[in-house]
Chain A
Amino acid sequence: MKGFAYGVLLDSDVDLGIPAAEGEPDVRIVRMDGPVPAEMVRWLDRSSDPWMSAGMVGELFYLRFGAEASFLVDPDGRRVFWMAAGGVADETLVHLLLDHVIPRALTRGHRTVLHGSCIARARDCVALIGRAGSGKSTLAAALLARGHTLVADDCVVAAGRPDGPAVVVPAYPGLRLTANSMRLTQVPALDAVGRVSRFSEKLRVRPAVDGGDAQPLMAERYLAAVVVLAHPDEPAVDGDHLLSAALAPAAAGIELLRHSFHLNASHERAALLQRVLPIAATTPVFRLRYRHTDAGLDVAVEEVVELLAARRIAC
């Protein structure tokens, strides 16, 4: 099955639920004949994801998600092989492929993939990045309810350009929300597709209406700003404002680096530095702390709406 996501054509033997497309695929996803023997894996340094282990099998990258599934990614990121444990639900495998493995595979194609959501008004967009639980999807959904367009939820594919603003390509239609976030954000007419995975309380939903700004679904957007959402567990800093001033270049670059997907090999980080920092050089980055309440969300929405209006690039 061929489909379009993250600006690339995927050819998968798993139904990923993405818009169908035709053409020569950029990435092929195929089931492995059998599991990778443990002795063949050279484990890498501990991933920041507590339930993902990363290693190398020869020149292939190996990702294992607990006892659920494991994956091999070739050096160019153009082939992904998967093996799921017996009884693993389809939605879990789709979630791991679509939201974890493929974004990492895309980094091998010299793409920057930020862990965040992205919303747009016309050709300009704002990426909302942060740790899991910082409220990215909720804020994106609230902005969607305010008439903005959802460009991505959880994985933002961005590219810096030497002669202009960075651009973002759309991920795939839909977002992942908890039932509470759906209630809080009141996105109109959400179609719940199903659970994201066996181990997540989030639902995969597709908005029945989406911005209506007449941009083609797969249109690139100019990255007008990045907002780093503070996690509720992070202590407030003295003078901590709802929305900070734009960060200095090095601090901005570090935030983008911290929230970038990669395949967890030390040589990836050097390449990541070269790809991510040009984005930090041309894109203002802000920090935002908001209370995860109805009122707090409303205020956060206003901050992002004003930011997007003030930072418009496209005329």
Chain B
Amino acid sequence: MEANATVFEAVPGTASAAVGDEVVLVDLSAEHYFGLNKVGAVIWAELSRGVTVDEVVGAVVARFDVSVERAAADVARLLTELDRAGLVRRRIPGRPG
């Protein structure tokens, strides 16, 4: 698979909190909520550490004992949804958080 060194970050104004082993995200500027299941919660935790997409995939593989391809697809799908919801963005070096 092609390496993916992209780093995603939470858009400023996104709050998150755990509930059980899941996570709820909220866009503070609007009444918009997004729920993450336990796999999504792990992905979100990794993103919060500022790691690359490849490292996020690696964490999912290690945690859930799934194939790299499956993990990569799950991560890509969630990032697309979160990006579309305005909750994450690609990190641009030098851009203030």
Contacts and interface: CB of A to CB of B under 8 A. Distances in A.
Contacts of A250: 19-20, 22-24, 35-37
A251 B28 CA distance: 18
A258 interface: yes
A122 interface: no
A248 B31 contact: no
Contacts of A267: 28
A101 interface: no
A253 B28 contact: no
A269 B35 contact: no
A155 interface: no
Interface stretch (B10-18, B49-57, B59-67): B10-18
A250 B24 CA distance: 6
B30 interface: yes
A293 to B, nearest CB: 32
Interface string A253-273: 110011000000011011001
A180 interface: no
B10 to A, nearest CB: 13
Interface string A222-253: 00000000000000000000000000111111
Nearest to A257: B33
Given A249-B22, A250-B23, A254-B35, A45 B29 contact: yes
B31 A269 contact: yes
Contact of B17 (A248, A251, A277): A277
Given A254-B35, A258-B33, A274-B17, A248 B22 contact: yes
Interface in B23-47: 23-24, 26, 28-31, 33, 35-37
Contacts of A280: 19
Contacts of B16: 273
Given A45-B29, A254-B35, A281 B15 contact: no
A277 B37 contact: no
B21 interface: yes
Nearest to B17: A273
Nearest to B16: A273
Nearest to B24: A253
B24 A273 contact: yes
A258 B33 CA distance: 8
B37 A273 contact: no
A257 B19 contact: no
Given A252-B19, A253-B19, A281-B20, A266 B28 contact: yes
B29 A266 contact: yes
A249 B21 contact: yes
Contacts of A281: 19-20
B37 A248 contact: yes
B20 A266 contact: no
Contact of A249 (B20, B28, B30, B33): B20
Contact of A273 (B15, B21, B22): B15
A257 B35 contact: no
A258 B34 CA distance: 11
Given A257-B26, A269-B31, A270-B26, 16 more contacts: A45-B30, A249-B19, A249-B20, A249-B22, A250-B23, A250-B24, A250-B37, A251-B35, A254-B33, A257-B24, A257-B33, A270-B28, A273-B16, A273-B17, A277-B18, A280-B19
12 contacts: A45-B30, A249-B19, A249-B20, A254-B35, A258-B31, A269-B26, A270-B15, A273-B24, A277-B17, A277-B18, A278-B19, A281-B20
Interface of A: 45, 48, 248-254, 257-258, 266-267, 269-270, 273-274, 277-278, 280-281
Ordered nearest first, which 8 A-B pairs have the shortest CB separation? A250-B35, A249-B20, A250-B22, A277-B19, A266-B28, A249-B19, A273-B17, A270-B15
Interface of B: 13, 15-24, 26, 28-31, 33, 35-37
